[in-house]
Amino acid sequence: MPGITHYLTVSALLFFLGLAGFISRKNMFMIFLSVELMLNGINLSFVAFSRFFQALDGHVFAFFVIAIAAAEAGISLAMIILLYKNRQTIDVDRFNIMKG
Amino acid sequence: MKPIMETTIYFIIFASIAVLGGFSTITRRHPLSAALSLVVTLIALAGLYALLAADFLFVIQILVYAGAIMALMIFVIMLLNLKQSEMPPEEQIEKRVLVTLALLAPLFFLVQTAIVRQFGDAAFQPVAEGFGSIKPVGMLLYQTYFLPFEIISILLLVALVGVVALAKRRA
Amino acid sequence: MFTTIADLHQTTPISSQSSLLLSLIVLLPILGALILGSMALWSQPREQGLSEKMLGALGTLTPALSALLALYLFAQQLGQPGLQWTANLGTWIKVSLFELSFGFMMDPLSGLMTVMITCIGTLIHLFSISYMHGDRGFARYFACLNLFLGAMLLLILSDNIVGLFVGWEGVGVCSFLLIGFWFSDAQKAGAGTKAFVANRVGDFGFLLGILFLFLETSHFDFAGLQAGLAETPESRLAVIAFLLLIGALGKSAQIPLHVWLPDAMAGPTPVSALIHAATMVTAGVYMIARLHFIYSQTPSISLLIVLIGALTALMAASIALVQNDIKKVLAYSTVSQLGYMFMAVGAGAYVAGIFHVFTHAFFKAALFLGAGAIIHALHHEQDLMKMGGLRKKLPITHLSMLISCLAIAGIPPFAGFFSKDEILWSLWNEGLYLFWGMGLLTAGLTAFYMFRLYFLAFGSSYRGQAEISAEPLLMKLPLLVLGAGAVLSGFLGLPAVLGLPNWMEHWLSQVFGAHHVAGNMGLALMLMGVSVLVASAGILVALKKYARLQSAPAAATGPLANMLHQKYGFDLLYDAVLVRPLRRMGTLGWQIVERLMIDGAITFGLWAYKVAALMLRQLQTGSIRAYGHYLLLGLTALAYLYFTLHLPGVFRP
């Protein structure tokens, strides 16, 4: 019978996979997908905690995370399209005009 | 087979699929493959939600996340239709990702230790009938969390307006 | 030698009567100042100012109304001896047991002063309309002048010493504003500052005096003070009297705080007439007379007042001998006459002092307005050496100034003769023969320098180049009225010792108590004869020396003349002892505290920020992945902190 420890371990694994993708990939789409992966890792721990403490608040948080992920998806995809139109590339290392 | 065994097997299956899907997501060269891997992970996560008696989230995860959001994602990737030459030059992706994971491992073990120390082998207690179904979640959402819920709806509206504004901009 | 409280007991029973008209006397000019002030603010940025006719009429209206009200109330007082008007506008300060109200009180003394101030003030407002014609600050001028009048009336009419102090400070502020009226001229603005600072020195003592008074009696109103001080020992009274005297010295320009008044002539001439001759500078004398119940109990301080007054009178008169600026002569003459008044109040002859305040206001205002008319006619020429022969061109001015010169010189039957002789007679009568001698000498000097001024301006023939314009009607009118005052006001105080009716004595005895001067009629006549002789001698010397002057005489030389030109070195002394050390301290503070410490700290901070920014901006690569790494670093640090703080066992093996 899997306990909360196991669920949280899976959650942490997914989160760290997302983190590794976020810092090691150059493709903008990949970075975006890594972030989605991290969000889902956290969502799993919310649901697990909710089940463990027998309180539904974690479900509500997970629900909010999904809503925010949707908003984020919309905005970042629009930005990727715009950036690609302007620069014909989706390599994040090519975008460094914010260099101080 | 006893139901306990069943749960364990389902957990092992879903967890493995989720983690492998996650790994696959971050190591694909083409974003389309990565997105499809992520869909697999999301569906496996939905299975884990079901094991955790989160009926409502199970449905939402499949319909909204794996369905709508990922469909949008894949749609955009196909819309740009990037050729191999237009991709950022990335060599030996698997190796790079593995090295990064190795570097992150200490942090992961830190977290892992904390989790074990905190919860040990604490087991889930049985829950009441209807836990995590749409009614109690909805009650909570529209009573205790009414204001955050409304704010989230405004956030979505703002995102919508932002997307339109971005799309209308001509270079 | 000095009268006691018992002697000062009221001869006529006081009957108080409340009337809000009394507060209107004070409030009307202040209201006018508010209206004119907002008009001045409105017209300041605009090319075309408001109509001068309208502003002038409005500015003169409020003093005129005040004057009518004052005359009305004073007339009722005349008809009903012992009548005292009061008005209470409510509570001002209330702290536990102590309560202070906006109270006004008009007794025979303040009634007389109020009538004098409002009437002369109105005339000077009228004169100003012509004098200030075409000035950019026309509205501002009338606002300040109105405000001054309000403050002065508050000073006179307040029934408590705190209200008097507010008026005292108010006239100081207005004096500052009006001396520096043409503030774009640094020298004139500096004169305003000098007056203000010298007055502040005096006010410091005055304020301390007020606080000591409160400590002693727990009262601020004059009635309460008088009752509360009956038991106070003389030593403590003397401290209070001395502190209050410091304030009076500053306001009335007595040694050693007299230095501001001659410089105050930088302001417009009608201002000099109103503030620096007729009204404000007499506030010190008024204050001492108002608090006579203190000063009559402190003979040592009173003697000090006589001494200061005598020295000031003589010193200022001697400086006036060599001044060539027409306004400077009048300024030193004012200081000298104020010295007379101080001698009088110091000798306990409060009636004589106030009488001289009263007559002096008329002839000195006339002299200043006359000087203003001359300056106006000669297009801002103030040098006596460039005048001469103005008798024909400015007949009314000439007439008024001749009368006033005779009055100030002390020739009977003009006003100055009676008041000055009253003072000299009091000094003699109190046995202060030395000071009587100094007063007599001053009288001779006064007669000489005033007629030097008169002959240089009006005698002989014109020595200047500037074209002479005629005197406008609005100037003639006040000159005539004030000239008439210079003739007639003396008859209010005919010498009682000769058996003549002294109305002033009789009237003010309601305040100061009966103060019968029993004296030898023959001796009094002889003393009068001597003073008239001395004055005539002064006039004759001036006549001989200046009446037929064709060209400007060479300036007098020699050590004495040098000393007079240096004004006895007061300005040099103050400059060396006070101004320059202070300025050096200021420079030091500027260099060390301001430049080195404050600016240095800021500059160092700026430099540190620059260095830090130079290093930190290396981190801003612009690459998102680099930022991801930073995030990770921060996350690791936070995780470490969290785990060590909240899960202490985590890192144990």
C105 and C243 in one domain?
yes
- Type of residue found at B101: L
pLDDT one-digit tens code per residue, C60-98: 999 999 999 999 999 998 888 788 888 888 888 888 777
Q: Which residue has the tokens 């991290």?
A: A38
Q: How far is B67 from chain C (nearest CA, A)?
A: 29
Domain match, C272 and C323 both: no
Both C276 and C390 in one domain: the answer is: no
Summarize the confidence of residues B119-136 as an average pLDDT.
87
> Using the beta-carbon criterion (under 8 Å), do B114 and C649 form an inter-chain contact?
no
- Say if residue C463's pLDDT is above 90: no
Statement: residue C5 has pLDDT above 60: no
Query: What is the pLDDT, as a whole number, of residue B126?
Result: 86
| Six-digit token string for C263 | 């410089």
How many domains does chain C divide into?
2
**C130-140 confidence digits (pLDDT tens):** 888 888 888 89
Domain boundary among C521, C537, C552: C552
Please determine, for residue B55, whether its predicted confidence score (pLDDT) is greater than 80: yes
Query: pLDDT higher for C553 or A21?
Result: A21
Whole-number pLDDT of residue C100 = 83
Chain A contacts of B167, Cβ < 8 Å? 78, 81-82
Pair C267, C346 in one domain: no
The pLDDT tens digits for A18-68 are 999 998 888 889 999 999 999 999 999 999 999 999 999 999 999 999 999
For residue A63, the chain B residue with the least C-alpha distance is: B57
Is residue C651 domain-resident? no
C20 and C158 belong to one structural domain? yes
What's the confidence (pLDDT) of residue A62?
94
Among C393-402, C466-475, C605-614, the range scoring the smallest mean pLDDT is C466-475
CB within 8 Å: B88 and A89? yes
ipTM over cut 0.95: no
The answer to whether A89 touches B80, Cβ cutoff 8 Å, is: no
Is pLDDT of B137 > 60?
yes
Q: Which residues contact B19 (CB under 8 A, 6 or more apart)?
A: A10, A13, A14, A17
Rounded percentage of chain C residues whose pLDDT exceeds 90: 37
The answer to whether residues C434 and C513 belong to one domain is yes
Residue B107's closest chain C neighbor by CA?
C636
* CB-based contact C650 B107, cutoff 8 Å: no
State yes or no: pLDDT of C519 exceeds 80: no
Confidence of residue C3 (pLDDT cuts 50, 70, 90): very low
Share of residues in chain C with pLDDT > 70 (%): 95
- What's the confidence (pLDDT) of residue C8? 41
Does any domain span residue C363?
Answer: yes
Q: How far from chain centre, in Å, is Cα C515?
A: 29
Q: Which fold has domain B3-127?
A: Four Helix Bundle (Hemerythrin (Met), subunit A) (1.20.120)
How many cross-chain Cβ pairs, A to C, lie less than 8 Å apart? Answer: 32
Selecting from C639, C649, C650 the residue whose C-beta is nearest the C-beta of B107 gives C639
Tokens in use for C86? 């009061």
CA-based nearest distance C611→chain A, Å:
14
C650 touches chain B (CB under 8 A): yes
Distance CA C74, CA C358 (A): 15
* pLDDT grade for B1, boundaries at 50, 70 and 90: low
What is the distance between the alpha carbons of residues C252 and A80, in angstroms, rounded to a whole number?
85
List of chains touching A (3+ CB pairs within 8 A): B, C
**Average pLDDT over every residue of B31-52:** 94
Judgement on whether residues C40 and C173 belong to the same structural domain of the protein: yes
Q: What is the mean pLDDT of chain C?
A: 86
Residues 603-632 of C with CB under 8 A from B: 632
In a domain, C623, yes or no: no
Instruction: Say whether pLDDT at B41 is over 90.
Output: yes
Which residue in the set B104, B107, B114 is minimally distant from C650, CB to CB?
Answer: B114
Q: What is the pLDDT of residues C8-42, one digit of tens each?
A: 444 556 788 888 888 899 999 999 999 999 988 88
Helix (H) or strand (E) holding C84: strand C83-95
C232 Cβ partners below 8 Å, 6+ apart?
A: C216, C217
Q: How far is A99 from chain B (nearest CA, A)?
A: 20
Show the domain range for C210: 10-297
- Check whether residue C221 and residue C350 sit in a common domain: no
A100 falls in which pLDDT band (50, 70, 90)?
Answer: low
Predicted pLDDT of residue C499: 76
Q: Would the pLDDT of C518 be above 80?
A: no
Q: Contacts of residue B4 in chain A, CB cutoff 8 Å?
A: 1
In a domain, C147, yes or no: yes
Q: Does C440 map to a domain?
A: yes
User: In 10 A of CB C295, how many CB atoms?
Assistant: 25
**CA-based R_g, chain B, Å:** 20
Domain final residue pick, C512, C528, C552: C552
Q: How confident is the model at residue B36 (pLDDT cuts 50, 70, 90)?
A: very high
Sign for the CA dihedral angle at A80, A86, A87, A88 comes to: positive
Structural domains present in chain A: 4-94 (1.10.287.3510)
Pairing of strands C83-95, C98-106: antiparallel
Cis before C256? omega within 30: yes
Between C568 and B155, residue with greater pLDDT: B155
3-state helix, strand, coil in chain A (%, to 5): 80, 0, 15
C232 with C366, same domain: the answer is no
Please indicate, yes or no, if residue C511 is contained in any of the structural domains: yes
Q: What is the pLDDT of residue C653?
A: 47
> In terms of domains, do C321 and C293 share one?
no
User: Residue B5: which pLDDT band, with cuts at 50, 70 and 90?
Assistant: confident
- What are the tens digits of pLDDT across the range C374-384? 998 888 888 88
Chain B residues within an 8 Å CB radius of A83 = none
Question: Is there a single domain that holds both residue C388 and residue C422?
Answer: yes
Query: A90-94, C254-258, C565-569, C611-615: which range is least confident on average?
Result: C565-569
Residue C306 lies in a domain: no
Name the residue facing A47 among B57, B120, B159 (closest C-beta): B57
- A31 contacts in B (CB within 8 Å)? none
Query: Whose CA is closest to C348, among C313, C298, C409, C391?
Result: C298
Contact B110 C649 (CB under 8 A): no
Q: What is the pLDDT of residue C515?
A: 63
Across C603-634, b (16+ Cβ under 10 Å) vs e yields eeeeeeeeeeeeeeeeeebebbebbbeeebee
Whether C623 and A97 lie within 8 Å, measured CB to CB: no
pLDDT of residue C2: 40
Whether residue C331 sits in one domain with residue C183: no
Span of A63-77, B45-59, C147-161, C209-223 with lowest mean pLDDT: C209-223
- B110 lies within 8 A of chain A by CB: no
Query: Per the CB < 8 Å rule, is C624 touching A23?
Result: no
Task: Say how far apart CA A50 and CA A53 lie, in whole Å.
Answer: 5
CB contact under 8 A, A78 and B167: yes
Q: Residue C647 and residue B107: Cβ atoms within 8 Å?
A: no
Domain boundaries, chain B: 3-127, 133-171
Give dist(CA C73, CA C45) in Å, integer: 42
Q: What is the pLDDT of residue C6?
A: 38
Q: Judge: B117–C636 Cβ closer than 8 Å, yes or no.
A: no
Question: Between residues 112 and 151 of chain B, which touch chain C (CB distance below 8 Å)?
Answer: 113-114, 117-118
**pLDDT value at position C229?**
84
A vs B, Cβ pairs < 8 A, gives: 235
C636 touches chain B (CB under 8 A): yes
Per-residue pLDDT band for C364 (boundaries 50, 70, 90) equals very high
Average pLDDT for chain B:
89
Q: Report pLDDT digits (tens) over B90-115.
A: 888 889 999 999 988 988 988 888 88
Could C622 and A19 be called an inter-chain contact, meaning their C-beta atoms sit closer than 8 Å? no
Tokens of C319: 């400086």
**Is the pLDDT at B171 greater than 70, yes or no?**
no
Q: Which of B4, B49, B162 sits opposite A47 (nearest CB)?
A: B49
3-state DSSP of C454-467: HHHHHCCCCCCCCC
